[in-house]
């Protein structure tokens, strides 16, 4: 309530202070996960860039998780008994 009154007073007196028009600020909400609404075009661009980057990061995360889970399921000791046969091959040359 106090914030709304303060915003109303600021918007009424903003032309007297040399501002062009009313200023609308966005306030954070409880448990908000995203950005607040942008007040300028550059911040809108930053939000759009963030959304595009997050899309590709989620695609990469799904791909890496799928590859890791398939490796863990297909190449374990129970599925393939020859896994440990060559595990010590070349140990001597690596030590030398």
Q: Which residue has the tokens 């007073």?
A: 9
User: Residue with structure tokens 């609308």?
Assistant: 24
> What is the pLDDT at residue 72?
85
How far apart are the C-alpha atoms of 66 and 40, rounded to whole Å?
Answer: 40
Contacts of 5 (CB under 8 A, 6+ apart): none
- The pLDDT profile of the chain, 96 residues, written as one tens digit per residue, is 666 776 676 666 666 665 565 555 667 778 877 787 777 888 889 989 999 999 999 999 999 999 999 888 887 767 666 656 666 666 777 777
For 38-53, b/e burial (b = at least 16 CB within 10 A) is eeeeeeeeeeeeeeee
User: Given this model, what pLDDT does residue 1 score?
Assistant: 62
- What's the CA gap between 90 and 94, in Å, rounded? 6
**pLDDT for res 20:** 60
Domain range list for the chain? 2-95
């Amino acid at each position: 309530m106090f914030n709304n009154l303060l915003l109303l007073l600021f918007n009424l007196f903003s032309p007297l202070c040399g501002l062009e028009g009313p200023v609308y600020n966005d306030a954070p909400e409880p448990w908000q996960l995203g950005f607040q609404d942008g007040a300028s075009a550059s911040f809108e661009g930053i939000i759009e860039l963030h959304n595009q980057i997050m899309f590709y990061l989620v695609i990469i995360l799904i791909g890496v998780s799928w590859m890791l889970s398939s490796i863990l399921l297909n190449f374990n000791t129970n599925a393939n008994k020859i896994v440990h046969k060559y595990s010590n091959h070349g140990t001597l040359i690596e030590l030398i």
